[in-house]
């Protein structure tokens, strides 16, 4: 069966290249400083401060840093779930208990990911999360997120919807990645909040 490209994909691909190029210009000092600031901002969110379980991810490369946030959540007694990429691009989940519970995993020719080494809880484990931290490259004024294009988090969001789960959806970005508009498709779902070094912005849910 041939692949049919969805209408918004060419625009999304171009935007992804632009945002990734900007991230690649950041220095190690930039990454270190923003990681600490983002952790502080994110921990001020009631959605994270009051959560018993948070599904998150380990930042890689020039992504906004998440490790400081994950460690603080763990220290507070929050159960932190981290993803493990499956061959079909879906995500399994495991519990994070500190950097010693991570392994660097190479998935084909892609960038290596840091995944939990402990027991796998299954793809449905994410439905127990009170908040889900989503990776992204940009978010727009409606709260629509531009992902990397692998589709893993589209599956996560669809799984949450099927389960009737309504966790808070939060994305960590750099200030320049909050934009007026990104291409969106009918299946895309808005996030509830974006955290950047300069602050937090919340979005009203769509009426539909």
What residues are paired with 95 via a beta bridge?
A: 81
Instruction: Count other Cβ atoms within 10 Å, centred on residue 93.
Output: 24
What residues are paired with 102 via a beta bridge?
A: 116
- With both helix axes pointing from N to C terminus, report the angle between 28-43 and 67-75 in degrees, rounded to the nearest 10: 40
Cβ-based neighbours of 44, under 8 Å, separated by 6 or more: 200
- Side-chain half-sphere CA neighbours of 26 within 13 A: 22
Q: What angle do CA 103, 79, 23 make, to 5 degrees?
A: 55
Average pLDDT along the chain: 90
**pLDDT the model gives residue 8:** 52
pLDDT interval class at 9 (50, 70, 90): low
Q: Which positions make up the binding site for substrate? A: 58, 63
Domain coordinates of the chain in residue numbers?
Answer: 9-201
What whole-number distance in Å separates Cα of residue 202 and Cα of residue 81? 23
Question: 147 with 170: CB under 8 angstroms?
Answer: no
pLDDT at 10 over 80: no
What whole-number distance in Å separates Cα of residue 14 and Cα of residue 47? 33
pLDDT at 136 over 80: yes
What whole-number distance in Å separates Cα of residue 42 and Cα of residue 46? 9
What would the mean pLDDT of 156-178 be, rounded to a whole number?
A: 96
Closest CA to 69 of 38, 44, 104, 107: 38
Three-state secondary-structure class, residue 119: coil
Q: Which positions make up the binding site for ATP? A: 12-16, 145-153
**pLDDT the model gives residue 18:** 94
Closest CA to 83 of 121, 128, 109, 39: 121
Q: Which positions make up the binding site? A: 12-16, 58, 63, 145-153
- At the fourth CATH level, the homologous superfamily of domain 9-201 is NagB/RpiA/CoA transferase-like (3.40.50.10420)
**pLDDT the model gives residue 149:** 82
What whole-number distance in Å separates Cα of residue 193 and Cα of residue 174? 13
Place of tokens 């709260």: 143
């Amino acid at each position: 069966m041939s692949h049919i490209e969805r209408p918004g994909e060419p625009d999304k691909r171009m935007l992804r290249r632009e945002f990734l190029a900007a991230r690649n210009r950041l220095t190690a000092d930039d990454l270190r400083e923003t990681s600490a600031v983002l952790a502080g901002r994110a921990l001020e969110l009631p959605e994270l401060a009051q959560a018993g379980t948070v599904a998150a991810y380990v930042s890689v490369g020039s992504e906004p840093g998440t490790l400081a946030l994950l460690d603080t959540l763990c220290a507070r007694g929050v159960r932190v779930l981290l993803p493990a990429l499956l061959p079909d691009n879906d995500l399994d989940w495991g519990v994070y208990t500190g950097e010693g519970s991570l392994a660097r995993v190479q998935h084909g020719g892609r960038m290596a990911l840091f995944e939990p080494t402990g027991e796998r809880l299954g793809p449905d484990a994410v439905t127990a999360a009170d908040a889900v931290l989503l990776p992204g490259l940009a978010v727009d004024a409606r709260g629509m997120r531009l992902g990397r294009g692998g589709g893993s988090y589209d599956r996560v969001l669809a799984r949450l919807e099927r389960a009737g789960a309504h966790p808070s959806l939060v994305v960590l970005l750099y200030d320049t990645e909050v934009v007026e508009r990104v291409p969106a498709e009918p299946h895309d779902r808005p996030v509830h909040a974006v955290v950047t070094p300069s602050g937090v912005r919340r979005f009203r849910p769509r009426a539909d």
